[in-house]
Amino acid sequence: MDDRPGIGGSCLCGSVRFVLRGPLRDVVICHCHMCRKSSGHVFASGAVAEQGLDLERSGALAWYRSSPGVRRGFCAGCGSSLFWLGDEGQVRFAAGALDDPAALRLRGQIFADSAGDYYRPSGPPLPVRSAPERLECSCLCGEVGFSVPGPAGEITACHCSACRKSSGHHAASFAVDEAAVRWHVRAPLAEFTPEDGSATRGYCRICGSSLYTRGQGAFRVAAGAVDGETGGRLARHICTGQKAGYYDLDDGLPQSEGNQ
């Protein structure tokens, strides 16, 4: 029995619960294509030695091998992004999954050249570029695919606790008419609705990729699910009153502590 104090965390539905024990590496934000696909925006992770990860409840924990030597851990019950496991003897954990990420700070960013067209890793987004009349979207493994009308237009970043738990950092999405969605393949598509009745979240059961939310009369597509350029622009931040403390909002965009 390890009696060292630890920092707890969980997925959105609570099926997976863990404690991190020992020294933690601060947060690194990854903008690579695979992390954006998996999380729905960007993946922000700290790191701990493999023996420092104590899975108190493994529940619906599932793993997807996204590339040779790399596995991504997620909850198959709610789609929350949780872990990234390589071959260096460390587990990278989603900062947004922590119950209290106050002990962490932002250490840096990687693969910034792979950032989406709708934001910049630092500073305000660039002017909107052109995009196809329909945007092709998919999960990381490619087993869920669909298209929506383009361009994406205004993209909203949500910092609420549910979006942080689900995406591992914060969410970024744009609204579309659900009736205009054209599904190509969706056999492994799953949905999760929290007990409080808040937004239903759509994700892939095979790779855990965040795909969309449905709630409050709106259907919103995860910006990271778009295969190419979105033609959109990050326009505002909402629910900033629930934002985690390890990152700052320095892009000069409008902010709201509520959900509007």
pLDDT digits (tens, 9 = 90+) for 203-248: 999 999 999 999 988 999 999 999 999 999 999 999 999 999 999 9
Distance of CA 250 to the CA centre of its chain: 20
Q: What percent of the chain has pLDDT over 70?
A: 98
Cα-based distances in Å from 236 to 59, 60, 156, 246, 260: 35, 34, 5, 19, 9
Task: Note whether 6-110 and 116-242 share their fold.
Answer: yes
Among the four given CATH numbers 2.170.150.70, 3.40.50.1370, 2.60.40.10, 1.10.1740.10, the one describing domain 116-242:
2.170.150.70
Q: What are the sequence ranges of the domains in the chain? A: 6-110, 116-242
pLDDT digits (tens, 9 = 90+) for 30-47: 999 999 999 999 999 999
Distance CA 214, CA 199 (A): 5
pLDDT band at 3 (very low <50, low <70, confident <90, very high): very low
- 6-110: in CATH 2.170.150.70: yes
Could you tell me the two tokens for 86? 């390589």
Average pLDDT of the chain, as a whole number? 92
Q: Is the pLDDT of residue 124 over 50?
A: yes
- pLDDT of 144: 98
Could you tell me the two tokens for 31? 């903008």
Q: What percent of the chain has pLDDT over 90?
A: 82
Q: What is the mean pLDDT of residues 134-162?
A: 96
Q: Which of 232, 96, 228, 99 is nearest to 171 (CA)?
A: 96
| Phi, psi for 77 (deg, rounded to 5) | -85, -25
- pLDDT of 90: 92
pLDDT digits (tens, 9 = 90+) for 165-197: 999 999 999 999 999 999 999 999 999 998 877
Cis? peptide before 124, omega within 30° of 0: no
Which distant-in-sequence residues (6+ apart) come within 8 Å of 58 by Cβ?
16
